[in-house]
């Protein structure tokens, strides 16, 4: 971070000053941002503070970085952007963060409050637009209350089902001083989440049901994939003897990272869904994917989810318990109240574990003609081997078919995928945020060539801030997901709009001051990956891969 000095001419107690003081109180150390007219007062207010501005090349990248920061640290990532088109660029990554249940606060400058409805420059209903994808969204109106707007936003982003919260900041509200009395700035407790605990009687009833079912399963949602969630799930499984699985992929039960899980799901006679919506990822709990007689427990931090899915399940006679509670605390409550694990479920539990761990034997040595492009699974195995050598690692997967292969194979200490939104393009900014959040880790992102093009210029950001990381580009010169769809549905003579140039993405990185190398032979890949890590620079490994459809795991 570059040291900066306080200007003697700096105005005091502007709305921007209240905002930044509250960011400091909240413990926010970084703003992921892109400059613009309406937010310059916030930039100015950070001078002399410990807040670092990570200045990106596109507003969407700022929100993607805030998203990855939130997923990896559990603390809200904060993005600051300007008005109009700067704001609209944040809508897709805000949706991505919402679907991934990531705590994010998006602050957008906007046209002056005093000119509302008069056609001011870049005037648009930003709060209303963001409210369609964010967990909550509003326009700030009082400079002196901006600190409390921020504390409310952070509290909401962290409470219940985590998610993005948007606050629109009119330029005059940021630059003016408050005219109303506000009862002091927020204190640290104002930023803490509101926690909803699982009722003890409800927990006892759920444990009773788990004790009676022949093939029970606990399924947890995206918030349980990271942080303390995996450990809490593992402890619940150990305490009850009931298999517990976390799900955070856009492919749901067809996530190749879950192996052949779909084959055992249909045998379950009780599903305890903790923060996991019974939506498309679970095939709406309909046959033939889930048995029609399977009973359901629905525990969720969002009352709207209970209202949306509860009546349909209840009408089918399948809903046995529904309650409002935060996911990880609910899992912990069930574990704490469990008396003894069910030994009679050992065979069922082992079958579930084996199904999740299953990978087809042909993945070990995929058939590839000598001299031809690499199979994606060969790339995935090389990345897996590299990360297995590290004490701490972050694996980022982004893209269509290539991303599915790497998700299915690569293990790591921390993991960030494009998530349930199914959106692509955030992989490079995810990797930058991962480097900041986990400074001692080996950070590797695997992205498709189409995906890489969304935010390739963020390599410039990585170079400017000295962020060593490795981007592995699976280069098949194609939008391969769409290519495979067209091939299946229309035939090889009706392929259109899928071809990309055979671009040297490693050279793109080198042109911006980073490290890069192309790989065309599988035997060269392990050493190239090690050289990329050892370079200590932002690095791109461009790997020529074959056009292979995403994996489907069946036994």
Percent of the chain surpassing pLDDT 70: 96
Q: Considering the domain 200-357 in this protein, what is its CATH number?
A: 3.40.50.1220
Q: 361-544 sits in which CATH class?
A: alpha beta
Whole-number pLDDT of residue 123: 84
Would you call 453 helix, strand, or coil by DSSP?
Answer: coil
What is the mean pLDDT of the segment spanning 401-415?
93
- Look at residue 9 and tell me whether its pLDDT is greater than 70: no
Would you call 495 helix, strand, or coil by DSSP?
Answer: coil
Angle, vertex CA 406, rays to CA 352 and CA 447, nearest 5: 145
What HEC string does 156-180 produce? HHHCCCCCEEEEEEEHHHHHCECCC
- Using the structure block, give the residue that is written with the tokens 């199914």: 422
Mean pLDDT across the chain, nearest whole number? 93
DSSP letter (8 states) at residue 80: E
Q: What is each CA distance from 79 to 90, 130, 224, 335, 380, in whole angstroms?
A: 9, 14, 24, 36, 32
415 beta partners: 395
Quick one: pLDDT band at residue 551, thresholds 50, 70, 90?
confident
Structure token digits, residue 450? 């189409």
Quick one: pLDDT band at residue 228, thresholds 50, 70, 90?
confident
What is the mean pLDDT of the segment spanning 286-291?
95
Q: Which residues contact 75 (CB under 8 A, 6 or more apart)?
A: 27, 28, 69, 103
244: nearest Cα among 157, 345, 159: 345
What is the mean pLDDT of the segment spanning 118-126?
86
Segment holding 397, helix H or strand E: strand 393-398
- Look at residue 456 and tell me whether its pLDDT is greater than 60: yes
What is the mean pLDDT of the segment spanning 232-237?
96
- Residue ranges in 139-279 assigned as alpha helix (H): 146-158, 171-175, 200-212, 229-240, 261-265
Task: Give the separation between CA 180 and CA 195, rounded to whole angstroms.
Answer: 31
* Ramachandran region, residue 341 (left: φ > 0; alpha: ψ -120 to 50; beta: rest): beta
- Look at residue 288 and tell me whether its pLDDT is greater than 70: yes
What is the mean pLDDT of the segment spanning 273-277?
96
Quick one: pLDDT band at residue 375, thresholds 50, 70, 90?
very high
Whole-number pLDDT of residue 371: 63
- Strand order, beta sheet including 295-300: 244-246, 216-220, 270-274, 295-300, 319-324
Whole-number pLDDT of residue 11: 47
DSSP letter (8 states) at residue 188: G
Task: Give the separation between CA 392 and CA 95, rounded to whole angstroms.
Answer: 29
Torsion of CA 500, 502, 508, 511, to 10 degrees: -140
Q: pLDDT by residue (tens digit) across 38-77?
A: 999 999 999 999 999 999 999 999 999 999 999 999 999 9
Structure token digits, residue 45? 């207010």
Percent of the chain surpassing pLDDT 90: 84
330: nearest Cα among 226, 193, 199: 199
- Using the structure block, give the residue that is written with the tokens 């927990």: 203
- Count CB-CB contacts under 10 A for residue 436: 21
Give the CA radius of gyration of the chain: 24
540 beta partners: 471, 516
- Look at residue 296 and tell me whether its pLDDT is greater than 50: yes
Q: Where are the domains of the chain?
A: 15-191, 200-357, 361-544
Quick one: pLDDT band at residue 178, thresholds 50, 70, 90?
low
- Using the structure block, give the residue that is written with the tokens 């001083």: 177
Structure token digits, residue 111? 């046209």
Q: When comparing pLDDT for 263 and 367, which is higher? A: 263
- Count CB-CB contacts under 10 A for residue 150: 31
Q: Considering the domain 15-191 in this protein, what is its CATH number?
A: 3.40.50.970
Whole-number pLDDT of residue 243: 97
Q: Which residues contact 527 (CB under 8 A, 6 or more apart)?
A: none
Q: pLDDT by residue (tens digit) across 66-114?
A: 999 999 999 999 999 999 999 999 999 999 999 999 999 999 999 898 8
User: Long-range CB contacts (< 8 A, 24+ apart) of 454-457?
Assistant: 454/60, 454/424, 454/425, 454/426, 454/428, 455/57, 455/58, 455/60, 455/61, 455/64, 455/425, 455/426, 455/427, 455/428, 455/429, 456/428, 456/505, 456/508, 457/57, 457/58
Task: Give the separation between CA 77 and CA 68, rounded to whole angstroms.
Answer: 8
Quick one: pLDDT band at residue 34, thresholds 50, 70, 90?
very high
- Look at residue 489 and tell me whether its pLDDT is greater than 90: yes
Please answer whether residues 445 and 393 qualify as being in contact, where contact means their C-beta atoms are separated by less than 8 angstroms. Answer: no
Structure token digits, residue 206? 């759920």
Whole-number pLDDT of residue 381: 95
416 beta partners: 396
Please answer whether residues 171 and 109 qualify as being in contact, where contact means their C-beta atoms are separated by less than 8 angstroms. Answer: yes
Q: pLDDT by residue (tens digit) across 142-154?
A: 999 999 999 999 9
Whole-number pLDDT of residue 550: 87
Whole-number pLDDT of residue 5: 44
What is the mean pLDDT of the segment spanning 345-356?
96
Whole-number pLDDT of residue 510: 97
Structure token digits, residue 437? 């959040």
């Amino acid at each position: 971070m570059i040291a900066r000095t306080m200007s003697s001419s700096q105005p005091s107690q502007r709305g921007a000053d209240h905002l930044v003081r509250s960011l400091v109180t909240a413990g926010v150390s970084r703003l992921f941002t892109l400059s613009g007219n309406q937010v310059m007062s916030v930039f100015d207010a950070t001078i002399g503070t410990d807040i670092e501005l990570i200045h990106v090349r596109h507003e969407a990248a700022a929100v993607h970085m805030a998203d990855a920061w939130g997923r990896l640290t559990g603390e809200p990532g904060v993005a600051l952007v300007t008005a109009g088109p700067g704001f609209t660029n944040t809508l897709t990554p805000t949706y991505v963060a919402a679907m991934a249940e990531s705590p994010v606060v998006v602050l957008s400058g906007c046209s002056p409050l005093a000119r509302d409805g008069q056609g001011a420059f870049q005037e648009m209903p930003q709060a209303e637009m963001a409210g369609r994808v964010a967990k909550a969204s509003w326009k700030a109106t009082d400079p002196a209350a901006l600190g409390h707007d921020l504390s409310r936003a952070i509290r909401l982003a962290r409470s219940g089902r985590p998610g993005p919260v948007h606050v629109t900041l009119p330029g005059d509200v940021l630059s003016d001083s408050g005219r109303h009395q506000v009862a002091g700035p927020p204190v640290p407790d104002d930023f803490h989440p509101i926690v909803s605990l699982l009722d003890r009687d409800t927990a006892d009833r759920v444990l009773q049901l788990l004790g009676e079912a022949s093939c029970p399963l606990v399924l947890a949602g995206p918030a349980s994939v990271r942080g303390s969630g995996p450990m809490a799930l593992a402890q619940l499984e150990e305490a009850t003897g009931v298999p517990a699985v976390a799900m955070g992929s856009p492919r749901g039960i067809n996530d190749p990272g879950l192996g052949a899980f779909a084959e055992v799901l249909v045998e379950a006679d009780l599903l305890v869904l903790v923060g996991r919506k019974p939506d498309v990822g679970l095939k709406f709990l309909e046959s033939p994917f889930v048995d029609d007689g399977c009973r359901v427990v629905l525990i969720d931090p969002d009352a709207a989810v209970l209202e949306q899915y509860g009546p349909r399940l209840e009408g089918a006679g399948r809903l046995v318990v529904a309650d409002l509670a935060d996911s990880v605390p609910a899992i912990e409550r069930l574990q704490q109240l469990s008396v003894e694990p069910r030994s009679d479920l050992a065979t069922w539990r082992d079958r579930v574990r084996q199904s999740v761990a299953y990978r087809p034997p042909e993945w070990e040595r995929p058939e590839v003609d000598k001299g031809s492009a690499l199979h994606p699974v060969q790339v995935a195995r090389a990345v897996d081997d590299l990360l297995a050598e590290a004490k701490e690692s972050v694996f980022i997967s982004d893209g269509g078919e290539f991303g599915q292969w790497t998700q299915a194979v690569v293990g790591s200490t921390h993991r960030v995928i494009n998530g349930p939104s199914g959106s692509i393009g955030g992989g490079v900014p995810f990797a930058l945020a991962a480097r900041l959040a986990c400074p001692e880790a080996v950070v590797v992102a695997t992205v498709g060539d189409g995906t890489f093009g969304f935010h390739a210029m963020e390599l410039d950001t990585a170079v400017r801030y000295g962020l060593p990381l490795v981007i592995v580009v699976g280069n098949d010169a194609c939008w391969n997901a769409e290519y495979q769809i067209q091939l299946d549905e229309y035939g090889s003579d009706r392929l259109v709009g899928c071809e990309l140039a055979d671009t040297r993405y490693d050279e793109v990185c080198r042109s911006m001051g980073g490290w890069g190398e192309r790989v065309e032979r599988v035997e060269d890949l392990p050493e190239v990956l090690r050289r990329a890590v050892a370079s200590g620079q932002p690095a791109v490994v461009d790997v020529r891969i074959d056009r292979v459809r995403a994996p489907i795991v069946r036994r």
